[in-house]
Amino acid sequence: MTSLLHPPTFALSKHEGHHLRLESTQGPAIDVFVLEQDIVRVRVLPDGKAHGPRTWAIAPGLEDVPYEGRDRLDTSGFALPSFGILTTEEEIRIETTQIRLTVALAGGRCTWEMRRDGGWRIVLQDRATQAYNFGWWDERIYHYVRRQPGEMYLGLGERAGSIDRANQSYRMTNVDAMGYSARTTDPLYKHIPFYLTWQPETRQGFGLFYDTLADCTFDMGRELDNYHGPYRHFIADHGDLDYYFIASPQTPLAAVRRFTWLTGRPALMPKWGLGYSGSTMSYTDAPDAQRRMGEFLARCREHDILCDSFHLSSGYTSIGAKRYVFHWNREKFPDIEGFVQDYLAHGVRLCANIKPCLLRDHPEFEHAVRDGLLIQTRDGEPAWVQFWDDVGAYLDFTNPAAVAWWKQHVRDALLRYGIAATWNDNNEYELWSPHAMAHGFGTPWPAREAKVLQTLLMMRASRDAQREHAPGQRPLLVSRSGGVGMHRYVQTWSGDNATSWETLRYNLKMGLGLALSGVSNIGHDIGGFSGPAPEPELFIRWIQFGVWMPRFSIHSWNDDGTVNEPWMYPTLTPQVSALLKLRYRLLPYLYQLLWDSTMEYEPVLRPTFAEFPEDARCYAESDDMMVGASLLAAPVVEPGQTEREVWLPEGVRWTCYWSGEQFEGGQRVTLPAPWERPVMLVREGSVIALNVAEQQFGRRDDRRAFIVTPFAGNERVCRRYAEDDGESEAWRRGEFGEWVVSAQGDAGTLTLAVEVIGPMPRAATSVEIFLPAGESRNVAISAGRIVADEPMGGWRRIVVER
């Protein structure tokens, strides 16, 4: 890298369509790519050459990228709009309908503006002093920008602490952080170098995505240096400074949607992935594991605990005390086929734990070494790593032969028995040695520079194995670690959390951080994974919170030998059963939110200020969140509480889910918070789909109903809900139906409409509509007839016969 003691001076050397190149006679170059009206990419190359690998992150509107990665000059999928350009002796200015980028030719510093009230407003500027490293600091990549008063910084994936990242610093490198503090631990499991800058006063913001596989650091104002003024920065250990600016006017959600679109279509997983998934390490660690697993089904039936799947922990692979991926311990599981089929007969699918590291005494270790399937040192020896209680070597998913080996073993060891899903675990790829080399698709490179890529390719290989085994079925995969693009493959969770009230509070914020980073199919280990057993009150509050998360799994490795199970506290078991039935009642709504995530790139979870950016009170630190646009969830995250105070965002009315009581927005209300009834409110102007059929373990039914909270005036309410078989890939061929539910009123009459479009998986001759009890207008129906209009539990129940 050329050492430059003075900032280089640039000139426009190339302008071909969407791509502009600025070059300096001293060597550095800056590429600008105008990709969309609201997305512009900048790449800074200190010596004029690209050093980073291909990209596995950029997949605009696509389901995947090539296995070997996408060429960084590939612009397929982008609109590549026309734009204005103005060049002077001092600067070059590029203008789309939403973004204006000015690059100072002396030094290459960028100033970003967005439209505001018919003019332009500066939202981001590179730091005036040393914004980039042009080769005279070290070999790392730097980007320094000015920090403005009042800015919020959101995203960066599952970071610990508050949702606003301001004044903190974060290290982004995947590690196995068992028992972490959800308030302070850093780094954690995932590598998502994307964040939103949001200015509450002006309600403008933008997203920055740094497309890198490198371990990197974000400082959001924690660092201070007298020579430079207020700033924040990004530092990557290697590669190039290659970033995307995404405009986000009016709401932070605009940039979230566009970043999700930019990095690929979220996977649509089967509906059963939303159900309760049992899990604990203790069952498969037991010497009589198959019997213990059978007891779980018996207990679910005994206590009427609804359950759709079970996460089969790695104890099924044990030899002695250690774990050997794809090896079945037949002393613990003497009848694998019978075990799996018994679960399937009860409507419970199995998701088997798999790990990407082979211990040195794994039965197939020598075969893997001989065939070059493992990450190796430069002299061809296995690149040893500490893995659990021994040493081993990671499989190298940049080697096509290793991918083929993995897929074959997923099929032979798991899928052929009827295992339905894979749980890709312990896949942080903690490689630190500079001597470890990855195959690199035929061009070796240091393995520590591709850790997050290994994780993504592992998920991809598992998904492809499942697709090849059952091409007509949607695969379900779970992964603990990951990076940008993981939403194209897997459901995830926040890892091995500690058992505490603090974890409950901050896991909520961690989930919001993931959702604002394009990863919506998420959850947490309910009850806490590591530590003592949760006390009864903490356990029930965890379950209440879990009702709203896309992933719901009670999972634990309690160091006091206890097991987190739905029936662990007999006096609470009826409440646990009732809460699970509440979740299953809400499944149609949650399923639509995941459908919207796949089809429209909508985040499932969001902070209240993202929906109500004009309400200043919503920016205050809180423990509330929106589940979709319609449901305000207010979990109890402190012990000894029987009530919950909630700020109701202004501008709309809110209806208590339990009582049907309505409240004006813009005020604090205090609501009862009993153990069996989590506090939630429905937003005015919403339609929420429900399943009101009776549910029992092993026997399911589905009968649709809708909560409708109409506006007081004559504004129309309308919502569409998709209905399909929930499992197959037939939705890709358009084989799904839709409910279209609407309401519109005047002073005296509220007219409801319930329409069915397209093929439905089940016939429905009638449907129930629940209106707030305070809705006193006469109700008319545009098609069909009303056969019942009666009060029910604080609501007004309307039965419409179609």
pLDDT in tens, 397-415: 999 999 999 999 999 999 9
Residue 639: is its pLDDT beyond 60?
A: yes
Cβ atoms of 412 and 364 closer than 8 Å:
no
> Given this model, what pLDDT does residue 6 score?
76
pLDDT tens column, 43-67: 999 999 999 899 999 999 999 999 9
Residue 2: is its pLDDT beyond 60?
A: no
Element containing residue 493 per DSSP (H, E) = strand 491-493
The DSSP code sequence of 743-794 is EEE-SSEEEEEEEEES--SS--SEEEEEEETT--SEEEESSSEEEEEEEETT
> Given this model, what pLDDT does residue 316 score?
98
What is the phi/psi pair of residue 541, to 5°? -70, -35
Lowest mean pLDDT among 135-139, 347-351, 740-744: 135-139
Residue 334: is its pLDDT beyond 60?
A: yes
The DSSP code sequence of 136-186 is SS-SSEEEEEE--TT-EEEESSS-SS-S--TT-EEEE-----TTB-TTT--
Three-state secondary structure readout of 290-350 = HHHHHHHHHHHHHHCCCCCEEEECHHHHEECCEECCCCCCCCCCCCHHHHHHHHHHCCCEE
Angle in degrees, 0-180, between the axes of helices 501-515 and 536-546, rounded to the nearest 10? 10
Sign of CA dihedral 728, 730, 732, 737: negative
Single-letter amino acid code for the residue at 733: R
pLDDT tens column, 423-448: 999 999 999 999 999 999 999 999 99
Lowest mean pLDDT among 26-40, 577-591, 692-706, 769-783: 692-706
Cβ atoms of 745 and 714 closer than 8 Å:
yes
Q: CA distances (Å), 253 to each of 19, 148, 512, 541, in order?
A: 28, 21, 12, 29
> Given this model, what pLDDT does residue 720 score?
97
Q: Average pLDDT of 72-98?
A: 97
Q: How far apart are CA 531 and CA 291, in angstroms?
A: 26
Q: How far apart are CA 74 and CA 72, in angstroms?
A: 5
Residue 700: is its pLDDT beyond 90?
A: no
- Rg of the chain on CA atoms, in Å: 27
Q: Closest Cα to residue 410, out of 456, 451, 365, 467?
A: 467
- Name the pLDDT band for 463 (thresholds 50, 70, 90): very high
Residue 3: is its pLDDT beyond 60?
A: no
Structure tokens that stand for 567 in this block: 């029936």
- Name the pLDDT band for 389 (thresholds 50, 70, 90): confident
> Given this model, what pLDDT does residue 7 score?
85
Single-letter amino acid code for the residue at 33: F
> Given this model, what pLDDT does residue 696 score?
86
Residue 5: is its pLDDT beyond 80?
A: no
> Given this model, what pLDDT does residue 221 score?
97
> Given this model, what pLDDT does residue 193 score?
98
pLDDT tens column, 465-496: 999 999 999 999 999 999 999 999 999 999 99
Domains of the chain plus CATH, in order, are 11-262 (2.60.40.1760), 274-355+397-587 (3.20.20.80), 605-683 (2.60.40.1180), 703-801 (2.60.40)
Q: What is the pTM (predicted TM-score) of this model?
A: 0.97
Residue 658: is its pLDDT beyond 90?
A: yes
- Name the pLDDT band for 695 (thresholds 50, 70, 90): confident
Residue 684: is its pLDDT beyond 60?
A: yes
- Name the pLDDT band for 254 (thresholds 50, 70, 90): very high
Cβ atoms of 328 and 335 closer than 8 Å:
no
Q: Closest Cα to residue 241, out of 139, 369, 318, 372?
A: 139
Lowest mean pLDDT among 87-91, 443-447, 692-696: 692-696
When the pLDDT of each residue in the chain is averaged and rounded to a whole number, the result is 96
Q: Closest Cα to residue 139, out of 258, 236, 5, 16?
A: 236
Output DSSP code: residue 372: T
Structure tokens that stand for 291 in this block: 């019997």
> Given this model, what pLDDT does residue 4 score?
60
Burial annotation 698-707 (CB, 10 A radius, 16+ → b, else e) = eebebebbbb
What is the phi/psi pair of residue 197, to 5°? -105, 125
The whole-angstrom distance between residue 172's C-alpha and the CA centroid of its chain comes to 16
Q: Average pLDDT of 369-390?
A: 95
> Given this model, what pLDDT does residue 1 score?
45
% of residues, the chain, pLDDT over 90? 95
